[in-house]
């Protein structure tokens, strides 16, 4: 299965990506993981990313496309994958479509964790990380709504969006995600 996992910061994407990866026996691939792997490989692309990241800038869409293309070409992703944190923008969604065409593959679904903003705030503040201050969180959610929320409509128009209520217990969310894919836990 080739999947994208969408959801706001605090929606539980990382947790669910790991659980789904185990259930479906495919890699969960996060944006951060892809960037760290590219830098560690010390390729020209990795060096470029290292410079961008060390300056504090965000990696541009074109470079992210290269990173994703390289990562999805690896052996462990040939049988499927779960992308967590990519795409984040409409431009990246178009890039992903091009990458998949090049692989002669298609997305099997885009799992969208829907969680009310008040719950997101409560979850993130509960983590008590240094950068999890209320004003910072509100800004992150604002950026998410502006850049990533349009992806919901993008994938919905393509008939790929599978919305899931993400405001419940972790195990219940996992079961709902698997059911949306026509699977059951342990299958």
- The number of distinct structural domains making up the chain is 1
Q: What is the reported pLDDT for 58? A: 75
Q: In this structure, are residues 30 and 136 in contact, taking their beta carbons and an 8 Å threshold?
A: no
Yes or no: say if 95 and 65 are a contact pair by the CB < 8 Å rule.
yes
Domain contains 185? no
The label of the residue with tokens 């259930």 reads 23
Residue 160, in any domain of the structure = yes
**DSSP single-letter state for residue 51:** H
Buried b (16+ CB within 10 A) or exposed e, 69-95: bbbbeeeebeebbbbbbbbbbeebbeb
Question: Helical H runs in 29-169?
Answer: 31-40, 44-54, 61-72, 90-102, 117-127, 134-143, 149-157
* Per-residue pLDDT at 162: 97
Residue 186 lies in a domain: no
Q: What would the mean pLDDT of 33-56 be, rounded to a whole number? A: 86
pLDDT value, residue 31 = 86
Catalytic positions, please?
Answer: 13, 88, 127, 129, 140
Average pLDDT over the chain reads 91
Q: pTM for this one? A: 0.88
Q: In what order do the strands lie in the sheet containing 2-7? A: 28-30, 81-84, 2-7, 109-114, 161-165
Tell me if 187 is assigned to some domain: no
pLDDT in tens, 121-164: 999 888 877 777 888 888 888 888 888 889 999 999 999 999 99
The CATH number of the domain holding residue 22 is: 3.40.50.300
Residue 175 in domain: yes
Question: Could you tell me the residue range of the domain that residue 95 belongs to?
Answer: 2-180
Q: Is 175 or 128 the better-scoring residue by pLDDT?
A: 175
Please report the pLDDT score of residue 104 as a whole number. 94
Residue 141 domain-assigned?
A: yes
Within a domain: residue 66? yes
Decide if 25 is inside a domain: yes
- What is the tens place of the pLDDT at every residue in 51-86? 887 777 778 899 999 999 999 999 999 999 999 989
- pLDDT (0 to 100) of residue 11: 94
DSSP letter at 146 equals: I
Higher pLDDT, 181 or 126: 181
The DSSP annotation for 6-28 comes to: EE-TTS-HHHHHHHHHHHHTS-E
């Amino acid at each position: 299965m080739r999947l994208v996992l969408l959801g706001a910061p605090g929606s539980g994407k990382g947790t669910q990506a790991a659980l789904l990866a185990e259930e479906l026996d495919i890699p969960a691939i996060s944006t951060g993981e892809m960037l760290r792997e590219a830098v560690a490989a010390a390729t020209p692309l990795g060096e470029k990313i290292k410079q961008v990241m060390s300056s504090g800038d965000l990696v541009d869409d074109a470079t992210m496309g290269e990173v994703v293309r390289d990562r999805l070409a690896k052996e462990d992703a040939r049988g499927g994958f779960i992308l967590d944190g990519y795409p984040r923008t409409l431009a990246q969604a178009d890039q992903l479509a091009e990458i998949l065409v090049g692989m002669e593959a298609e997305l099997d679904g885009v799992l969208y964790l829907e969680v009310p903003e008040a719950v997101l705030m409560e979850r993130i503040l509960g983590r008590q990380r240094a950068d999890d201050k209320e004003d910072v969180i509100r800004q992150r959610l604002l950026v998410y709504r502006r850049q990533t929320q349009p992806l919901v409509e993008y994938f919905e128009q393509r008939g790929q969006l599978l919305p899931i209520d993400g405001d419940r217990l972790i195990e219940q969310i996992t079961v709902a995600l698997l059911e949306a894919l026509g699977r059951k836990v342990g299958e």
